Structure 1
């Protein structure tokens, strides 16, 4: 997860908050004695709950709703486990794509496109979001509704609101979840979701639900768990409101010319397709780029040795949904596959290995030692670390793709220790 700008400063939250992105990938019975799940909060749960109740009542939550949902509440240790847990390995581009886009998922997605053609076309006419993208989001978020989460949303959010680490954000989400219950959109026992409160078949946080959920079947409820009509209307409404362009796709795989300046491969750099064409960028099959006026960026999710993509406005909107380049490419590529397009032209290398968290921490510390600010060594290879890697590459005359491949990591650590 990721990848996400400040939760509290943004008025438009990603549908799946960074903290909720990988809940389905963690075993439900996972245990790890190295993960600190203690609350580290001097306020006892009962005292916090009494104080929070006064806040909730002032916000208009009914006392009967509050007393019902909090009748037996205690902080959920497993929620804190997931919140504290960091993956031991970073996931490579190829590992991510293979996990996200299977042959079975593609085949099922194509069947669902046909099965729900009338609904999806109806939604397209109203909101302008192409059906194949809606089905791709649906498939990646919950495997078409199969895995929507098993945590009672109120219990999970209350646990994280009581925990001081991100209390303000989760207190707000909890209040909104209670309002959703008060409004009768879903029964308490059916309000299940991720460990971090993401809900329904496309994993809306309560704030996203409140802002964008849509009663598509006109039954007076916005049911993102059981009504596929509401799911598709709500997802389309969200994408439409944040600026989805129905006239464009997400982007496409491309090939770059010899001598390409990899410093240009950056989401902060946009050029018209005609400019990229002049710089030698071509479609993956060698053909010219489309002759249309579209601002686009080049991204290299696996570095200059891996596949290259030219990406458009809708790619950026996918990243509002989930601020991960890998996720955005997966949504776009799955949508293409659902439409009948083929696999990527670039091929997975034989030595595709993820970076261990200890190696990532050592890399960040080494970059800091050498004067390239990678931030606090936390093992998370975010934008700051990649910018530091790119600065190191530029200084040493290397292809400046910002990608920490194994031999480069060894070089940086060796130089820092030398």
Structure 2
């Protein structure tokens, strides 16, 4: 399946400032200015010229960037689309086939196999489709575009560095529309910093070597703050009378404190009582409930969509043996147009909901929770037609 991107996990650090070369304007002039900046930054002039010479503007990349409608789906719908029995079976098979790689990952980074298997599944269907966009064209097009130049500009220079090392070809390297490469889809800067030669052939080849791709992904998760040997997500059962406003990533309690409030694991027991954690209700009080441990926050360094992150984290637990979640009976949510109307109304009330895009993101959830409190409604951050009508 095609990779689903919300520009997640893009590490925005880099030596090159987005102010150095203005975005927009003539693409040819932009390329020339980027090349000059690269040389001024220490890159070889001849190599830089060869890198930039063939790069072309890609309208298809911009079209893909602006078309991410699946992220409007609520968690239950979204997760059921992505998690099939065949994908689950294939994940377990791949876990067995590459058991030695996953053993090494667990030993060196303390990351359970299910975590990387879930990313491998969702990003490229275990390597079967890694994207067919020319990566150099994609990165320079997105750096030229004025929506997020500060994200993509450093990636162009990192790709140039990989080219200098012989690990990138601007003419033939392909991947996702946002510039990610390989089986677990990593950006050039992340490859430079976290690439691992897992199969011992002296090269880091993320497109053809599962060992290289999985170990590089594990190193990146570790670099982003993964806490070795700790859980990331667990389905829970909430007690009658639970105070719904306590749900959400904005509220944390220790596991022991949640237990004192009556929270219980749906399967097995909750983890270390000292761990900070949050209750997640992706579709409000009528839907599934999860406890998010500290490692859950690392997922947002990979992808910024709450729905994608929760689905990837949950699929990781399924691959580790967790049961299918209890979907419950959540209240009917809003359509995309209704969500946009709600966001517009909330924005007019002074709430920061970000872009009016019909997606229930963190800002919209926080605003909904606050409005529910003010209206005396159960504050579960799940917007319904009744809430929209009241506003």
**Does the 8 Å CA contact 2:7/2:178 hold for their aligned counterparts?**
no
**Counterpart among 168, 173, 191 of residue 209 in structure 1:** 191
What is the distance in 2 between the residues matched to 1:155 and 1:281?
50
Q: Deviations over 1:76-125 (max 9, x none)?
A: 11112223335387111111111221101000001111111112112322
**Counterpart among 346, 354, 372 of residue 393 in structure 1:** 372
Partner of 2:18: none
TM-score normalised per structure 1: 0.82
What is the distance in 2 between the residues matched to 1:50 and 1:279?
61
Partner of 1:327: 308
Tell me, yes or no, if structure 1 residue 407 matches structure 2 residue 386.
Answer: yes
**Counterpart among 106, 114, 124 of residue 106 in structure 2:** 124
How much has 1:288 moved relative to structure 2?
A: 6.0
How much has 1:66 moved relative to structure 2?
A: 3.4
Aligned length: 380
SS at match of 2:344: helix
Partner of 2:19: none
What is the distance in 2 between the residues matched to 1:62 and 1:297?
49
Return closer, same or farther for 1:42/1:115 CA change in 2, 3 Å cut-off: closer
Return closer, same or farther for 1:309/1:379 CA change in 2, 3 Å cut-off: same
SS at match of 2:290: strand
How much has 1:353 moved relative to structure 2?
A: 5.8
Gaps of 5+ in 2: 15-21
**Does the 8 Å CA contact 1:92/1:352 hold for their aligned counterparts?**
no
**Does the 8 Å CA contact 1:3/1:382 hold for their aligned counterparts?**
no
Equivalent runs, 1:95-244 vs 2, <5 Å: 95-244=77-226
Return closer, same or farther for 1:133/1:167 CA change in 2, 3 Å cut-off: closer
Q: Quote the RMSD (CA, aligned, Å).
A: 2.7
SS at match of 1:70: helix
TM-score normalised per structure 2: 0.88
How much has 1:57 moved relative to structure 2?
A: 2.0
**Counterpart among 328, 340, 345 of residue 326 in structure 2:** 345
**Does the 8 Å CA contact 2:135/2:176 hold for their aligned counterparts?**
yes
Gaps of 5+ in 1: 12-39, 413-418
Equivalent runs, 1:278-317 vs 2, <5 Å: 278-284=260-266, 289-290=270-271, 292-317=273-298
SS at match of 1:165: coil
What is the distance in 1 between the residues matched to 2:342 and 2:213?
42
Tell me, yes or no, if structure 1 residue 359 matches structure 2 residue 330.
Answer: no
What is the distance in 2 between the residues matched to 1:162 and 1:368?
29
SS at match of 2:301: helix
